């Protein structure tokens, strides 16, 4: 088997490390989402470099980058675009919104209301957008990177369950370590900060992503591993602290990410360890806890740890 997935992962890491420091795990998860063809939800406090990460990730993969700053008065048409009547041509012309991009950063997605958030549902699932009953296809590698403030921040709205389920995985960003934060200061302590610093980044080779996806499709998955995933999903659906467990879309997402994880390790089969490594980023944001669990301070990560202890690991 070729090492296209490893080559892609190493290239993205080396290029992103020129502008982002101490976020190797987050960058790897972006690579997993890219190869698996899914969207990413990033959660963290403001000022950790989420916009800088998304913008430069788009440069590395050679895609067009656009950004939406979510506010309480943002309208769905501000995302999708509108038709304007041109009297000279006697026809309606599409004024495309920022959703027509390869990488779309939806900044502070939970600062806008559910009606506007729902404008992204079709685009994320079907990679197309419908405006005034006319559908338009989006780029093949369309990727949404949404940043989310912690839920206890003022002026935030909870994301609908159907939208959370459309994010393939969630990346949680914390404060950088001392060494990495010093490196940030050395590099960006200048007027304009990170966005003013010009760094040459080499984009991916044109066919590398397609080769990587082809390699991932050839990674073998045993029936026992499929059964392991399904048992984890079923256990989440009957957990006493969970009101809404893992959907079938979530199970598929877990398998897709585990395939990429295996290929990044240059393995030609998915092991239970690959499932376990991806379970928190893929599943934590999908679990809807009961009110009692929330009051008791139960975290999705605690529940997932319990599920991993509860479900027997296949030994084949």
d(CA 109, CA 149): 8
Q: Which residue has the tokens 């206890």?
A: 152
Report whether pLDDT(151) > 70.
no
Spatial CA neighbour of 281 closest among 19, 21, 38: 38
Residue range 200-230, pLDDT digits in tens: 999 999 899 999 999 999 999 999 999 999 9
Q: How large is the average pLDDT for residues 298-307?
A: 91
Q: How far is residue 286's CA from residue 305's CA, in Å, rounded to a whole number?
A: 15
**Selected residue with higher pLDDT from 27 and 156:** 27
- Distance from C-alpha of 231 to C-alpha of 246, rounded to nearest angstrom: 11
Domains of the chain: 1-192 (3.40.50.300), 219-316 (1.10.8.80)
Q: Are 40 and 176 in contact (CB under 8 A)?
A: no
pTM given for the model = 0.91
Rounded average pLDDT over 114-125: 87
55: phi > 0 → left, psi -120 to 50 → alpha, else beta; which?
alpha
Distances from the Cα of 31 to the Cα of 128, 196, 213, 223, 256, angstroms = 22, 25, 11, 26, 12
- Confidence band of 72 (pLDDT split at 50, 70, 90): confident
- Residue 172: both structure tokens together: 């949680």
Q: What is the mean pLDDT of residues 8-20?
A: 95
Mean pLDDT, residues 73-90: 89
Q: What does the mean pLDDT of the chain come to?
A: 90
Query: Quick check: 161 pLDDT over 90?
Result: no
- Within 13-102, strands assigned E span 39-43, 65-69, 81-86, 91-96
At residue 100, does pLDDT exceed 90?
yes
Instruction: Identify the pLDDT of residue 133.
Output: 85
pLDDT at residue 45 above 50? yes
- What does the pLDDT look like over 244-297, one tens digit per residue? 889 999 999 999 999 999 999 999 999 999 999 999 999 999 999 999 988 888
Rounded mean pLDDT, 133-151 = 88
Q: What is the structure's pLDDT at 304?
A: 93
Could you say which DSSP state residue 175 is in? P
At 91, is the pLDDT very low, low, confident or very high (cuts 50, 70, 90)?
confident
Q: Indicate whether 150 pLDDT > 80.
A: no
Is the pLDDT assigned to residue 1 strictly greater than 50? no
Q: Are 66 and 101 in contact (CB under 8 A)?
A: yes
């Amino acid at each position: 088997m070729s090492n296209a997935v490893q080559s892609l992962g190493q290239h993205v890491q080396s290029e992103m490390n020129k502008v982002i420091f101490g976020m190797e795990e987050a960058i790897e998860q972006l690579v997993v989402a890219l190869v698996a063809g899914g969207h990413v939800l990033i959660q963290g406090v403001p000022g950790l470099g989420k916009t800088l990460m998304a913008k430069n990730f788009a440069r590395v993969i050679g895609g067009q980058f656009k950004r939406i700053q979510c506010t309480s008065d943002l309208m769905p048409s501000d995302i999708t675009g509108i038709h304007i009547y041109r009297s000279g041509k006697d026809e309606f012309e599409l004024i495309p919104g920022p959703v027509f991009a390869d990488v779309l950063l939806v900044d502070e997605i939970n600062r806008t209301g559910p009606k506007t958030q729902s404008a992204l549902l079709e685009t994320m699932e079907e990679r197309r957008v419908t405006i005034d009953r006319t559908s338009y296809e989006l780029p093949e590698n369309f990727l949404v990177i949404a940043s989310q403030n912690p839920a206890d921040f003022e002026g935030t709205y909870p994301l609908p369950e159907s939208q959370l389920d459309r994010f393939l995985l969630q990346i949680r960003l914390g404060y950088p370590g001392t060494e990495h934060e010093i490196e940030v200061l050395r590099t960006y302590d200048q007027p304009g900060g990170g966005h003013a610093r010009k760094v040459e980044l080499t984009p991916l080779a044109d066919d590398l992503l397609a080769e990587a996806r082809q390699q991932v499709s050839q990674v073998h998955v045993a029936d026992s591993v499929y059964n392991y995933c399904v048992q984890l999903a079923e256990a989440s659906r009957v957990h006493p602290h969970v009101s809404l467990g893992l959907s079938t879309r979530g199970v598929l997402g877990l398998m897709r990410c585990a395939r990429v994880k295996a290929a990044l390790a240059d393995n030609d089969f998915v092991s239970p360890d690959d499932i376990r490594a991806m379970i928190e980023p893929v599943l934590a944001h999908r679990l809807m806890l009961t009110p009692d669990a929330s009051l008791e301070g139960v975290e999705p990560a605690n529940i997932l740890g319990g599920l991993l202890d509860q479900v027997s690991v296949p030994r084949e």
